[in-house]
Amino acid sequence: MYDVIIVGAGPAGLSAAIQCRKWDMNVLVIDEFPKAGGRLLGQLHQEPNGEWWNGIEETKQLTETASKLNTEIRLGISVHHVEKIDDGFLVHTNHGDFASVRLLIATGAAESAAPVPGWTLPGVMSIGAAQVMTNVHRVRVGEKGIVIGINVLSAAIAREMQLAGVDLHSMVLPAMNPVTKDHAHPKKVMDKLSRIAHLAPSAFLRFGGKVAKANIARKLATQFYPRNGMKMWGMPIHLRKAVTQINGTDHVESVTMFDVTADGKLKKGTEKRVEVDFVCIAGGLYPLTELAAVAGCPFHYSEELGGHIPVHNEEMKTPIDGLFVAGNITGIESAKVARAQGKVAGLSIAREKLKGIADLEYKVLQAMNDVRKTRNEASIQFHPGIEEGRTKMEDVFRESKKTETAL
C-alpha cells in the first residue's frame, strides 16, 4: 500500500512526487510514455525576456531531483481504471494492480483536431505530433508544410519547427463547419491570437494585442487584415484564408485554399492550390479527465479553463477523500503553472498524512502563492479569463463540500 500513487510523469506529477518524497512518503509515479516529462519533452521557445525555455532540460532537472530522492517511477504503464476502496484507491494497469491511500491524477491534456477533408492521408498530423517528432525524436516531418488552425499552441509549435529548420508555407484557418466554427471565425481567432501578440515582431499583431478587448477593434482588425497575411517570425499568418481540402493520392501533395470574409465565409472564385508535402492540424487542447471521472469525482464545465474540469480547490484537493488533481487536467495553462500546481499538490498530500506540522501549513500557502505568481507572469495564456475560471471553481468546490456535509 503506497502513501500516494501519481498518474502522470509530466511537470505536475514529477513536481508533486518530489515534494512527497522530501517528506519521506512512499510514492509511486506511473506514466504510459516510455520517457518521463510529458508534454515538457517537446517544448522549446524563447521567453519575452530573451531566455529560452527548454522542456528537455526542465525534464532532466525534475527527473534527476526525483531520482536523488529515490522516487519510484514506472514508465510504459497504462492505467485503465481507478477503483475507490475502503482504505484508499486501487489503480488498475496493464502491469497489474497497485493500491494507495491517496491518488494524484496529473494526466495533462490532449489535442482536439479540426476535421478537414483529406486528413487521413499520410503526411497529415496534429501540431503536437509534429512538435514531438521535431523536438524529441529529431525527425524532419517533411520538406514544406502548412499549419491549419491558428491558436496559441500552433503558433508556439510552428516557431519551434522553424527553429529546427522546417519550412512552413503559412498558418491558415480551417474551412467553417459545425465542428470548426470557432476555429474558422476570423474575429474569434484574432481574439485568441492577441494573447501571444507580445511575442510577434509585427507591429500590427502587437497593436491587436493591446486593443483586442474592444469588440470594434477586433472587427476592424479582421476586416482590414492584409490579404497576404501578417508575418510572425517571417511566417505569414492568414486570418482571411481557409483550407477546404487536403489533396493527394498516397500522401499529401497540396491543399485547396480559399479567401474568406471577416465572418469566415468562403469567397467564390478565389480557389487556389498550394503545394506542400505535410499538413499540421491544430484544434487546441482539452483536459484529459477520464480517470477522474471513473474515480467518481464531480465535474464542472468551465469555458475559461478549457472544458469539463474535475471539481477541486486551490490546494488541489477534490471532494473525494484522498483524491487530488494537478496540471492541465485542472485547466489548460503553461507547463510552468502545471509544475507549480504539482508542488502544491505534493505538499497538500504530505500535510494530509502528517497533520499538524506548522512548517507544512506555511509551505502549502507559499506554494499556492507561487502558482498565482507564475500564472500572472505567464508569457502565453491559452484561454481568456483564467483567474475568473479559477475563482468560480473555488466556489463550486465549496458548494460541493456543503452539499456533502448536508447529506
Task: Provide the 3-class DSSP secondary structure of residue 294.
Answer: helix
Under DSSP, the state recorded for 263 is: T
Question: Where among 281, 309, 332 does a domain terminate?
Answer: 281
Q: Are residues 172 and 204 part of one domain?
A: yes
pLDDT at 200 over 60: no
Task: Provide the 3-class DSSP secondary structure of residue 171.
Answer: strand
Q: Are residues 172 and 50 part of one domain?
A: no
pLDDT greater at residue 101 or residue 184: 101
Of the candidate ranges 53-57, 207-211, 243-247, 275-279, the one whose mean pLDDT is the lowest: 207-211
What CATH number is associated with residue 399? 3.50.50.60
pTM value surpassing 0.85: yes
pLDDT at 220 over 60: no
Residue-level pLDDT at 206: 45
Q: Are residues 25 and 137 part of one domain?
A: no
pLDDT at 315 over 70: yes
Cell 492550390 belongs to 273
Task: Provide the 3-class DSSP secondary structure of residue 157.
Answer: helix
SS3 labels along 339-352: HHHHHHHHHHHHHH
Mean pLDDT across the stretch 263-274?
94
pLDDT at 348 over 90: yes
% of the chain residues with pLDDT over 70: 89
Cα-based angle 271, 274, 276 (whole degrees, multiple of 5): 150
Residue 78 confidence class, pLDDT cut points 50, 70, 90: very high
Q: Are residues 268 and 298 part of one domain?
A: no
pLDDT at 41 over 90: no
Q: Are residues 276 and 146 part of one domain?
A: yes
pLDDT at 113 over 70: yes
Q: Are residues 269 and 128 part of one domain?
A: yes
Residue-level pLDDT at 209: 46
Residue 182 confidence class, pLDDT cut points 50, 70, 90: confident
pLDDT at 278 over 90: yes
Q: Are residues 354 and 305 part of one domain?
A: yes
Question: Where among 232, 256, 281 does a domain terminate?
Answer: 281
Dihedral (CA of 263, 264, 265, 268) sign: positive
Q: Are residues 401 and 337 part of one domain?
A: yes
Residue 127 confidence class, pLDDT cut points 50, 70, 90: very high
Q: Are residues 273 and 144 part of one domain?
A: yes
Residue-level pLDDT at 217: 42
Residue 222 confidence class, pLDDT cut points 50, 70, 90: low
Residue numbers of the domain that contains 248:
113-281
Q: Are residues 382 and 238 part of one domain?
A: no
Residue-level pLDDT at 218: 47
Q: Are residues 214 and 312 part of one domain?
A: no
Residue-level pLDDT at 181: 83
Question: Where among 281, 305, 336 does a domain terminate?
Answer: 281
How does the average pLDDT of the chain come out, rounded? 88
Strand partners, 148: 172, 281
Residue-level pLDDT at 68: 97
Residue 77 confidence class, pLDDT cut points 50, 70, 90: very high
Count of helix runs (H) and strand runs (E) in the chain: 11, 21
Cβ(342)–Cβ(333) under 8 Å? no
Q: Are residues 95 and 129 part of one domain?
A: no
pLDDT at 158 over 50: yes
* Overall domain count for the chain: 2
| 301: nearest Cα among 323, 331, 327, 326 | 331
pLDDT greater at residue 89 or residue 54: 89
Cβ(75)–Cβ(34) under 8 Å? yes
One-letter amino acid for residue 311 of the chain = V
Cβ(304)–Cβ(392) under 8 Å? yes
Helices (H), 73-197: 127-131, 152-163, 186-193
